[in-house]
Structure 1
Amino acid sequence: MNCVFVTGTDTDAGKTLVSSALLERLGEGGLRTLAFKPVAAGAVKTAVGMRNSDALQLERAMSCRGVSYEQINPVCLEAPVAPHLAAVTEGKKLAVEGLHGDYLRLCEHDHDVILIEGAGGWLVPLNDEETLADFATKVNAHVVLVVNMKLGCLNHALLTAADIQRRGLKLVGWVANQAQLTTMALAEENQAWLTKYFAREHGAPLLASIPFQQTADALRVASYLPASQALISVLQGNTDF
């Protein structure tokens, strides 16, 4: 296992917070970690170019150094809209092949694990024919699913997991994240149902149940995850930790 793709049930599910926490936890175990945010939509102009706050957070959380921002986030789009639409507005074309080339160049750095954070949900389009899920398939990533615990999350989670499985990828674990202040009705019952379902149908354990975070803190959230060695094991596809 050296490639983990973090996806979510929808936009603002908590992918960046969970991805950063995973990087922090893996780093605690001595692993050399790289982060890859292939496409980011929603950025600001700085003196050194366009910068996306999620990609910057991932850069801070990874343990490898000497890697440029552009290698971590090769496609940085200004408008906070669907990436394929933002790309058209900026006269750019997104494609799996191009992102794969960016990924291979990042892989040239010494590392143990590359953590890839998606954009939006699992099937966010790149163009008229391809989605970011096609990129995850191209790199044969193990997948971690962040479920935003709100009304409708069961349907979103099951549909996402079904497509991951259909593509022949391994869902290695999931995270229950309370992304909004108001807790959904029967939250514990919904989480318990998903825990049983993912274990039975995908062999994917619950990695963490994260309460609402008033201020995002990857180090604090990392404490909800399994210890480093156990986390490494489960990300490799082992169900016991």
Structure 2
Amino acid sequence: MKQYFVTGTDTEVGKTYVTCQLLTAATRLNKKAIGYKPVSAGCDLINHEWVNEDAANIQKANSIQLPISEINPITLKPPIAPHIAASEENVVLSDDKIMQGLAHLQSYQPDLLLMEGAGGWRLPLNIPSRGTALAATQSRFMSDVVSAIGMEVILVVGMRLGCLNHALLTAEAIRQDGLTIAGWVANDITGNMSRYSDNLASLKALLPEPLLAEIPFQQAPKDEALNFALEQLC
């Protein structure tokens, strides 16, 4: 089994889209593929169950049908920072629940398991009260959970102005946390980025990890590109 954590240079850079594309491509190649989004914020009540749109898309892209509660065990209603939403709803964002959900999906023995984060790499899960001496040392981040698991990382770069800085800082933080970046995906999220090709070339020169795939604006990536990405990952 190959498993990876999918993170992004920011929120709304296409982590879910990339995750779903990779899951669908893996299924097309007769691989058992499962996506996992442990924490989501922003849900709608559907058939008496709170459902996050990203988690629902991942559910559809999985090669086996699983209950949404297994794919997304921690659902928070307001579309805000998860640790703030959790505080408002008296929910504890615990490492144990995230890891238990992961272990359950691992029991299906997929060929590929993709665990998608929320927001960017340093997403807060728990921050002690402001002004306390413990705030800096006892804060907990999603990156801490990934580090504890030792999972390799796929970095989704939202191609827009500022992406060079965001990509380099995120990659630097991942490496400093002792983790391996399996590769990165260039996702054109605006369709009108000035000097797109030059920026892409700069990222290729500055990031030592491989470019797994390039996703055009509002177009599905070519099968060949996804197959290449899966060859690198699997």
TM norm structure 2: 0.90
- CA distance in 2 between counterparts of 1:173 and 1:222 reads 18
1:15 Cα offset (Å): 0.6
Partner of 1:76: 75
Partner of 1:18: 18
Partner of 1:208: 213
1:224 Cα offset (Å): 6.2
Find the partner of 1:138 among 129, 148, 158. 148
What is the RMSD of the two structures over their aligned residues, measured on CA atoms?
1.6
CA deviations on 1:41-93 (whole Å, 9 max, x unpaired) are 1110122410011001011111023x221110001111000000011111101
- CA distance in 2 between counterparts of 1:223 and 1:48 reads 37
1:235 aligns with 2:223: no
Compared CA separation, residues 49 and 14, structure 1 to 2 (3 A): same
Q: 2:22 touches 2:226 (CA, 8 Å); kept in 1?
A: no
Q: Matched residues, percent identical?
A: 39
- CA distance in 2 between counterparts of 1:27 and 1:76 reads 26
Compared CA separation, residues 57 and 139, structure 1 to 2 (3 A): same
Partner of 1:98: 97
Partner of 1:239: none
1:35 Cα offset (Å): 0.9
Find the partner of 1:184 among 187, 193, 197. 193
Q: Which runs of 5+ in 1 are unaligned?
A: 237-241
Q: Which letter maps to 1:205?
A: P
List aligned pairs for 1:112-191, cutoff 5 A. 112-128=111-127, 129-181=139-191, 183-191=192-200
- CA distance in 1 between counterparts of 2:190 and 2:180 reads 28
* Greater strand proportion: 2
Query: In structure 2, the residue corresponding to 1:111 is in which secondary structure?
Result: coil
Compared CA separation, residues 177 and 37, structure 1 to 2 (3 A): same
Aligned residues: 223
| Larger RCO (CA within 8 A; separation ≥ 6) | 1
Query: In structure 2, the residue corresponding to 1:221 is in which secondary structure?
Result: coil
- CA distance in 2 between counterparts of 1:114 and 1:138 reads 17
Q: Which runs of 5+ in 2 are unaligned?
A: 128-138
Please list every run of at least 4 consecutive aligned residues from structure 1 whose deviation after the TM superposition is greater than 2 angstroms: 220-226, 230-233
